[in-house]
Amino acid sequence: MDETTKLLAQMKPLLTVANIPNHQIRIRSGKHKTETLAKAFDWLHDLYMSPEYHELKETWGLLPEKIWRRYEIFGFEGLIEQKLLADAKKNLFRAWRKKRPQLFNKDKKV
């Protein structure tokens, strides 16, 4: 497993929290040029080190995951931690969409 795949797997839980589609949280299959893989890794690493990613990581870590899920199940709304989480999710989603390499997407139709 290469470094890009490892980093993507490490980031996947929070990317899922940020409502990033699952088909984008993967690397296209096939052979890729080394340069393409290097650029994709650099972009992903920059995202990993970004304030948006760390903001979501810190906000998500405020409460255990089961509490966040209970908020959703019971329909709690308007709590301050929910507002913080919503803002952090939106910011990471925007950062994910900004100049994302097409290597992170579903396979092309043949």
Segment 47-72 mean pLDDT: 96
CA-nearest of 46, 25, 51, 53 to 99 is 46
**Reported pTM:** 0.89
Tell me the per-residue pLDDT of 11-28, one tens digit each, with 9 for 90 and over. 999 999 999 999 999 988
What pLDDT was estimated at residue 110? Answer: 64
- Listed by start position, the domains of the chain span 3-97
In three-state secondary structure terms, 18 is coil
- Token pair listed for 23: 């088909």
